[in-house]
Amino acid sequence: QDQLVESGGTAVQAGGSLRLSCVVSGYLFSYTCMAWFRQAPGKEREGVAAAYIGGSSTYYSDSVKGRFTISQDNDNNAVYLQMNGLKPEDAAMYYCAASRLRCLSTSWYRQDEYTDWGQGTQVTVSS
84-102 per-position pLDDT tens digit: 999 999 999 999 999 999 9
Residue 79's pLDDT band (cuts 50, 70, 90): very high
Give the per-residue pLDDT at 2: 80
Cα 18 to Cα 86: distance, rounded to the nearest angstrom: 8
DSSP secondary-structure letter at 55?
S
Determine the average pLDDT of the residues in 105-119: 97
Cα 31 to Cα 4: distance, rounded to the nearest angstrom: 11
- Per-position b or e across 26-58, b if 16+ CB within 10 A of its CB: eebeebebbbbbbeeeeeebebbbbbbbeeeeb
Nearest to 44 by CA among 122, 120, 111: 111
What single string gives the DSSP state of each residue in 61-80? -TTTTTTEEEEEETTTTEEE
Q: What is the mean pLDDT of the chain?
A: 96
Residue 64's pLDDT band (cuts 50, 70, 90): very high
Q: Is the pLDDT of residue 1 over 80?
A: no
